[in-house]
A and B are shown apart, each in its own frame.
Chain A
Amino acid sequence: MLPAVRQRILIFPKSLFGSIYQANNYATEATFKTQPYKLHMLENGPSTEVTMTRDEGLQYYRQMQVIRRMETVAGNLYKAKAIRGFCHLYSGQEAICTGMEAAITKEDAVITAYRAHGWTYIRGVSVHGVLAELTGRASGCTQGKGGSMHMYTKNFYGGNGIVGAQVPLGAGIAFALKYQKKNNVCLALYGDGAANQGQLFEAFNMSQLWKLPVIYICENNGYGMGTSAERAAASTTYYKRGDYIPGIWVDGMDVLAVREATRFAKDYVLKHGPILMETATYRYSGHSMSDPGTSYRTREEIESVRGKRDPIFNLKEKLLSSGFSTEQDLKNIDSDVRKEVDEAAEKAKSDPELPLEELYNHIIVDPPSDMRVRGCDVTISAPTKG
């Protein structure tokens, strides 16, 4: 598939302006064709012709590389025991959060499960904010109190530890947005494993009944923990599992397809009520750091996805073939990213922990003035702040 390239900046002879102007030789906008979407209860779907500017392309590339590098570093920190707790990596799924964020605004809401690092970053938390949370430092985005599964920022509702539990919350968030007459939507994400939890179907029903502006997104990475989708689900066409809710299947490894489908979905849910998106993706790591991820799938399968479907490689091809950038430009971005993430990691290792008294705060708001939190025995108790 060759991109249709439009060059909008005049190319000056090199000899006239010298190499400094080489940057202007790049194409600025190109159109690409996505894989066909699959539709459920929809006559028309998102466009398969998508346009991307050079700036957008480089931005998505950088964002995805940051997430990839951040997850690699998180994995290493975990192995070095600098990160405790449970740690679920997003590597392989970067195109989803990147493409979706590009299609919504910061006023739209997002809620997801425990594979939350990539989303936390893309919603606005710095790499340091994510990594310091993982290492349990006060400078973490939830002060080290949440850890891997519990990260939050404005209009990003986490970061939830119980499989599927976040989905009905997403419906509630969407109701609030509608009630407040905001022109915004809520993205409620879950995995293919969580798609089998009963509470999803309760949420589907309520949101369709009340026509809520919620986009349900099944990030189908093929495995619910160690069980493949086929072994766990009677129907693996997740985009159809909202039954009476329209659905779209989208290639989750193509950031542009994800962006286009999300734009379509946002527009749809603001007019008609909920929609369901299935984004076909893959996770390179195991379910969590305690799962090597090789007992229920072959190494060849993982390598094959890396080789043929990798979302970053996919975008890189587009950037190069459309004349948006050179290999060297991308290498420069890669080394910038590496530096940024590595510096954040160093800081995340050395930042101070939370003061001990913070352990007792945030249990309930406005506690009775004389309330003390009980400790291990009657001699231990501490005041609490809301």
Chain B
Amino acid sequence: MAALKGLITKGSLQKLVFSNVRKEFKTRIFARCSHFTYVPDTPKANHGETTRMNLFQSINSAMDNALEQDPTAVLFGEDVAFGGVFRCSIGLKDKYGKDRVFNTPLSEQGIVAFGIGLAVVGATAIAEIQFADYIFPAYDQIVNEAAKFRYRTGNLFDCGKLTIRAPCGAVGHGAMYHSQSVEAQFAHTAGLKVVIPRGPIQAKGLLLSCIWDENPCIFLEPKILYRSAIEEVPIHKYTIPLSQAEVILEGKDVTLVGYGTQVHVLREVANMAQERLNVSCEVIDLRTILPYDFETIANSVVKTGRLVISHEAPVTMGFATEIATAVQEECFLNLEAPIQRVCGYDIPFPHVFEPFCLPDKYRVFEAVKKVINF
């Protein structure tokens, strides 16, 4: 009987240990899913009054400002009248009416083409594609119509007042059609502007710039930041210039270039490099992918001599390829080590093993070690 009792106790203990291990495993999985730590930006003093907003709220605020200022501005897309699946347009239909904020059928090609038509007459068209992954039915309209309108009409016509918004990037569980980063697909097309913000303050200023820019813009919003990124965002309108990268952390040894969510990964890498290697990293947020700010990158590389570029999109023909090529063309003699790319795998975005496929901080950190030890 005593032996039996012992067994039971032992069994319970094993169960307890196992359950703790499981708990820890779950926490680890969770930690791996959020593969970065968000560091909020601080608003500029001259942008006035601020309030706490997450990314979807700051995008809402930008569109609110745009609709308020410009009576020709309209906002449309799948379910946007109810706020959209990510709540970016919540409340705007009630405020500006169903003539200006409206749902479209599930018809991406139609949404973009309709927006081009609107914009060519002079209306400000803000089109939402529900996920960047769904943008491809509209690829022809974007690449062959929107991008070439100005050029092919000898500048007589254009659809510069068109802005296409779409959520992009990994979100922890999105699988093939809710996770893709599509910026490189559009960066290959002259006539477009492609922009990706890293947080709420940036998103509002950059989105307003896109809306008011006289070129068709694709504004890709890292969907993992919609709720997780929170900052004090100016409530009034302000813009952040397009095609200007930002040095968000100054350093002297290694240049780290990224955009969107990846900027936060790079920030952590810079901290790790400082603490563990005593290496000083300069972190650059590219912000606009096309046309991009080469100058800021080149100036940094001239200073550091080492470059690591990182994005979630697959490595082959990703935008890092363009940056690496241009830097070696322009700064060859300044380079102390081969340029490193730390990017997404060349596979369809998987349903299983997502954390494994992301260019996380440890992988970028290894690349930093490599360029330092070359």
Whether A197 contacts B106 by the Cβ 8 Å rule is yes
B175 A295 Cβ-Cβ under 8 A: no
Q: Does B342 contact A (CB under 8 A)?
A: yes
Pair A84/B106 contact, Cβ less than 8 Å: no
Contact of A162 among B174, B177, B359, B366 (CB under 8 A): B177
User: B172 — which chain A residues lie within 8 A by C-beta?
Assistant: 84
Nearest-Cβ distance from residue B329 to partner chain A, whole angstroms = 20
Contact-residue bracket for chain B:
35 or more
Q: Is B340 an interface residue (CB 8 A)?
A: yes
Answer whether residue A2 sits at the interface, using C-beta atoms and an 8 A cutoff.
Answer: no
Supposing A147-B175, A376-B359 touch, asked if A199 and B79 sit within 8 A by C-beta, the answer is no
Give the chain B neighbours of A295 by CB distance below 8 A.
82
| Cα distance, A145 to B340, chains bound together (Å) | 30
Query: Shortest CB–CB separation between residue B367 and chain A, in angstroms?
Result: 5
Known: A225-B106, A377-B363. A85 touches B79 (CB 8 A): no
- In the complex, A146→B351 CA distance in Å? 6
Q: Are A196 and B106 in contact (CB under 8 A)?
A: yes
Is residue A378 contacting chain B, with contact meaning CB distance below 8 A? Answer: yes
Compute how far the CA of A360 lies from the CA of B343 in the bound complex, rounded to whole angstroms.
Answer: 16
Which of the candidate stretches A38-46, A178-186, A351-359 sits at the interface with the other chain?
A351-359
Provide the B143-178 mask, 1 if CB < 8 A to any CB of A, else 0: 000000000000000000000000000001111111
Q: Which residues of B contact A198 (CB under 8 A)?
A: 107, 109-110, 137
Q: Give the distance to chain B from A237, nearest Cβ to Cβ, in Å.
A: 16
B130 — which chain A residues lie within 8 A by C-beta? 225
Question: Does B352 count as interface, using CB distance less than 8 angstroms?
Answer: yes
User: Could you tell me if B345 and A162 are in contact, using CB atoms closer than 8 angstroms?
Assistant: no
**A360 to B136 alpha-carbon distance, docked (Å):** 24
Q: Which of A11-19, A227-235, A300-308 contacts B (4 or more CB under 8 A)?
A: A227-235
**Does B350 belong to the interface (CB within 8 Å)?**
yes
Name B294-321 residues within 8 Å CB distance of A: 314-316
Which residues of chain A from 325 to 377 have any CB-CB distance to chain B below 8 Å in the complex?
353-354, 356, 359-360, 363, 373-377
**Neighbouring A residues of B356 by C-beta, 8 Å:** 356, 359
Q: Give the residues in chain A near B137, CB-CB below 8 Å.
A: 162, 164-165, 197-199
A194 interface hit (Cβ, 8 Å): yes
- Give Cα A231–Cα B176 distance, bound, in whole angstroms: 29
From known contacts A136-B351, A197-B107, infer whether A376 and B344 are also in contact, taking CB-CB under 8 Å: yes
Chain B proximity mask over A157-169: 1 for CB below 8 Å, otherwise 0: 0000111110000
B357-A377 in contact (CB<8A): no
Q: In the complex, what distance in Å separates the CA atom of A198 from the CA atom of B344?
A: 32
In the bound complex, CA of A1 to CA of B248 (Å): 74
Binary contact track B333-352/A, C-beta < 8 Å → 1, others 0: 00000001111111110111
Question: Which of B107, B173, B175 is within 8 Å of A196, CB to CB?
Answer: B107
Check A378–B107 contact: CB distance below 8 A.
Answer: no
Does A144 belong to the interface (CB within 8 Å)?
A: yes
State whether A164 touches B106 (Cβ < 8 A): yes
Q: Complex formed: what's the CA distance from A291 to B87 in Å?
A: 12
Give Cα A367 to B178, complex, Å. Answer: 27
The answer, yes or no, to whether A244 is at the interface (CB within 8 Å) is no
Across-interface contacts of A199 in B (CB, < 8 A): 137
Which residues of the partner chain B approach A165 to less than 8 Å between Cβ atoms?
A: 137
Whether B103 contacts A232 by the Cβ 8 Å rule is yes
Main secondary structure on chain B at its contact with chain A?
loop
Q: Is the CB of A227 within 8 A of B78?
A: yes
Closest chain B residue, CB of each to CB of A133? B351
The reply to whether A359 and B366 form a contact with Cβ atoms under 8 Å apart is: no
How far, in Å, is B255 (CB) from chain A's closest CB? 16
| Most A Cβ at <10 Å: residue of B133, B351, B357, B363 | B351
- The reply to whether the CB of A316 lies closer than 8 angstroms to some CB of chain B is no
Q: Which of B134, B173, B316 contacts A84 (CB 8 A)?
A: B173
Residue in B82, B316, B348, B351 whose beta carbon sits within 8 Å of that of A374 in the complex: B316
Which residues of A have CB within 8 Å of B345?
359, 373-376
CA distance A2 to B363 in the complex (A): 70
In the docked arrangement, what's the CA distance between A290 and B174, Å?
12
- Identify the closest chain B residue to A234 (Cβ): B105
Partner of A353, one of B174, B315, B352: B352
* CB-defined contacts of A150 to chain B, threshold 8 Å: 176, 351
Given A161-B176, A376-B363, are A196 and B105 neighbors across the interface (CB < 8 Å)? yes
A209-233: which have CB < 8 Å to B? 224-227, 231-233
Q: How far is the CB of B254 from chain A (nearest CB, A)?
A: 14
B106 touches A226 (CB 8 A): no
Residues of A contacting B173 in the complex (Cβ-Cβ under 8 angstroms): 84-85
Give A229 Cβ to nearest chain B Cβ, in Å.
Answer: 10
Which residue from chain B places its CB closest to the CB of A144 in the assembled complex?
A: B352
- Smallest distance from the beta carbon of B317 to chain A beta carbons, Å? 11
Once bound together, how far apart are the Cα atoms of A232 and B105, in whole Å?
5
Q: What distance in Å separates the Cβ of A231 from its nearest Cβ neighbour in chain B?
A: 6
For the complex, give the distance between the alpha carbons of A194 and B134 in Å: 13
Q: How far is the CA of A150 from the CA of B175 in the complex (A)?
A: 10
Which residues of B are found within 8 Å of A225, using beta-carbon distances? 78-79, 85, 106, 130
Return the contact of A377 from the options B174, B316, B342, B348 (Cβ within 8 A).
Answer: B342
| A118 adjacent to chain B (CB < 8 Å) | no
Decide if A376 touches B352 in the complex (CB within 8 Å): no
Interface presence of A298 (CB below 8 A): no
A residues less than 8 Å from B344 (CB atoms) = 376
B211 at the interface (CB under 8 A from A): no
B25 at the interface (CB under 8 A from A): no
Chain B residues near A197: list those with CB within 8 A. Answer: 106-107, 109, 137
In this assembly, does B18 line the interface, its C-beta being within 8 Å of a C-beta of chain A? no
Chain B residues numbered 76-95 whose CB sits less than 8 Å from any CB in chain A: 78-79, 82, 85
Docked CA distance A230–B252 (Å):
61
User: Are B105 and A233 in contact, with the CB atoms below 8 A?
Assistant: yes
| Chain A minimum-CB-distance residue to B312 | A376
Please state if A85 and B178 are interface contacts (CB–CB under 8 Å). Answer: yes
Q: Mark A78-91, 1 if CB is under 8 A from B, else 0.
A: 00000011100000
| List of B residues within 8 angstroms of A136 by Cβ | 351-352
Chain A neighbourhood of B256, CB < 8 A: none
Residue of A nearest to B338 (CB): A378
Partner of A373, one of B178, B347, B366: B347
25 A-B contact pairs sorted by A residue (CB < 8 Å): A85-B173, A85-B174, A86-B175, A145-B350, A146-B175, A161-B133, A161-B176, A162-B136, A162-B137, A194-B106, A196-B105, A197-B137, A198-B107, A198-B137, A227-B79, A232-B105, A353-B353, A359-B345, A363-B347, A375-B345, A375-B346, A376-B360, A376-B363, A377-B366, A378-B341
A sample of 4 more A-B contacts (CB under 8 A), given A161-B176, A359-B357, is A146-B351, A196-B110, A232-B106, A360-B347
In the A-B complex, the 6 residue pairs with the closest CB atoms: A84-B173, A196-B105, A161-B177, A147-B351, A193-B106, A85-B175
